[in-house]
């Protein structure tokens, strides 16, 4: 019996050692959206693919819903290696990576399809490499959030926007765009926004259709105007120290799994965006589709201000416009 116990203990120790050896890396991937969001869908698909293909050499933990802090804090954690990666909006990166301000220009892309095409091209790949100088590594651009305006009163012309107090993202590309459109842009924390709308602190918000419904704004705001001023980018980012610590075979696996997961997540997001508009209509929201040409003309007057003293962003803005014109 004693011999059997010794053999059993030795076998268990071998299995334990094998498991430890198999799991060489752990990736904690964070984001600020809900556990039903496209970010979560993308990262869950990545987790499934990489754990299966790596034979357990890489384990993935996903932290959703801002568990790791806001996007500014997450970005800092990626740069220092505290977190191994996750998803963030391009607008949050522009305060760190100057070139990314080009992606927050209003109407730099006319629609989501155009944004996807450019960001999957050589220009997009070069923009991902910009992250390397800031201790991050870009695996790919994800879903595009086509942001329009939800408001109490209908917006069908530029005149309807004059004096409108609208919540915007706290970045130059958003603030200056809505200044140019004649509104009173009001940056505020997203978590404060629902109460601000209910209490008439702001009159409107710019938001994508899926978030408009997912976060219940369609219950208190009954007009949604498809202005599409910003095609808001998202990016799958890794900590550069973590990436460089992976052997070449795992780097290849990670990149391939990320590319496939991003495509999966984009499909899920596009379905959610379309469903969001239908849900809003069913809840009594009037969806307006105004002529965008006058909005484009006014909003693009902000480009000069947004790009002042930003040569990297200016260079990418020029290249993006050149690619679109071809």
Could you read off the pLDDT tens digit of each residue along the chain, which spans 326 residues? Answer: 444 444 444 444 444 444 444 569 999 999 998 888 899 999 999 999 999 999 999 999 999 999 999 999 999 999 999 999 999 999 999 989 999 999 999 999 999 999 999 999 999 999 999 999 999 999 999 999 999 999 999 999 999 999 999 999 989 999 999 999 999 999 888 888 999 999 999 999 999 999 999 889 999 999 999 999 999 999 999 999 999 999 999 999 999 999 999 999 999 999 999 999 999 999 999 999 999 999 999 999 999 999 999 999 999 999 999 999 98
What residues does each domain of the chain span? 2-97+131-142+234-271, 146-231+276-325
Q: What is the pLDDT of residue 326?
A: 85
- State the fold for domain 2-97+131-142+234-271: D-Maltodextrin-Binding Protein; domain 2 (3.40.190)
Q: What is the DSSP string of 148-193?
A: EEEESS---SGGGGTT-EEEE-SSHHHHHHHHHTT-EEEE--GGGH
pLDDT at 158: 98
In contact, 148 and 228? CB cutoff 8 Å: yes
Secondary structure of residue 280 in the 3-state scheme: helix
Write down the pLDDT at residue 17: 40
In three-state secondary structure terms, 90 is helix
* Phi-psi region at 105: left, alpha or beta (left = phi > 0; alpha = psi -120 to 50): beta
Is 146-231+276-325 the same fold as 2-97+131-142+234-271? yes
Which residues sit opposite 168 in a β-bridge?
A: 187
CA angle (53, 57, 63) in 5-degree steps: 90
CATH code at 146-231+276-325: 3.40.190.170
pLDDT at residue 34, as a whole number = 86
Enter the tokens of residue 7. Answer: 């053999």
Residues 6+ apart with CB under 8 A from 6: none
CA-to-CA separations, 298 to 10, 104, 117, 274, 294, in angstroms, rounded? 75, 16, 25, 27, 6
State residue 172's pLDDT score: 92
Q: Any idea what DSSP says for residue 285?
A: P
Cα distance between residue 166 and residue 157, in whole Å = 16
Q: State how far the Cα of 183 lies from the Cα of 315, in Å rounded to an integer.
A: 29
Q: What is the pLDDT of residue 166?
A: 98
**What pLDDT does 18 receive?**
40
Sheet bearing 223-232, strands edge to edge: 184-187, 165-168, 204-207, 145-151, 223-232, 286-288
Give the DSSP letter string of 209-225. Answer: HHHHHHTTGGGT--EEE
- The per-residue pLDDT for 23 is 64
Q: What is residue 16's predicted lDDT score, i.e. its pLDDT? A: 42
């Amino acid at each position: 019996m004693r011999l059997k116990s010794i053999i059993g203990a030795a076998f268990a120790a071998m299995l334990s050692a094998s498991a430890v050896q198999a799991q060489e890396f752990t990736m904690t991937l964070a984001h600020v959206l809900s556990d039903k969001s496209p970010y979560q869908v993308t990262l869950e698909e990545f987790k499934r693919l990489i754990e299966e293909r790596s034979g357990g050499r890489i384990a993935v933990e996903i932290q959703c819903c801002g568990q790791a802090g806001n996007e500014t804090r997450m970005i800092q954690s990626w740069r220092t290696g505290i977190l191994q990666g996750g998803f963030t909006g391009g607008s949050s990166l522009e305060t760190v990576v100057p070139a990314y301000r080009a992606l927050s220009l209003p109407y730099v892309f006319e629609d989501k399809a155009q944004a996807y095409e450019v960001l999957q091209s050589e220009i997009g790949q070069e923009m991902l490499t910009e992250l390397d100088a800031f201790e991050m590594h870009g695996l790919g651009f994800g879903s595009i959030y086509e942001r329009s305006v939800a408001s109490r009163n209908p917006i069908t012309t530029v005149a309807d926007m004059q004096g409108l107090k609208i919540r915007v993202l706290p970045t130059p590309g958003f603030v200056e765009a809505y200044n140019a459109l004649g509104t009173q842009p009001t940056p505020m924390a997203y978590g404060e926004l629902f109460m601000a709308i209910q209490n008439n602190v702001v009159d409107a918000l710019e938001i994508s259709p899926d978030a408009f419904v997912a976060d219940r704004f369609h219950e208190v705001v009954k007009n949604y105007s498809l202005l599409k001023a910003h095609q808001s980018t998202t990016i799958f980012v890794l900590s550069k120290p973590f990436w460089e610590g992976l052997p070449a075979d795992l780097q290849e696996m990670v990149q391939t799994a990320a590319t496939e997961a991003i495509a999966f997540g984009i499909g899920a997001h596009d379905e959610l965006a379309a469903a969001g508009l239908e849900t809003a209509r069913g809840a009594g929201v009037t969806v307006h589709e105004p002529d965008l040409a006058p909005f484009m003309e006014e909003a693009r007057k902000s480009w000069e201000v947004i790009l002042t003293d930003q040569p990297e962003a200016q260079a990418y803005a020029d290249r993006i416009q050149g690619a679109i014109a071809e």
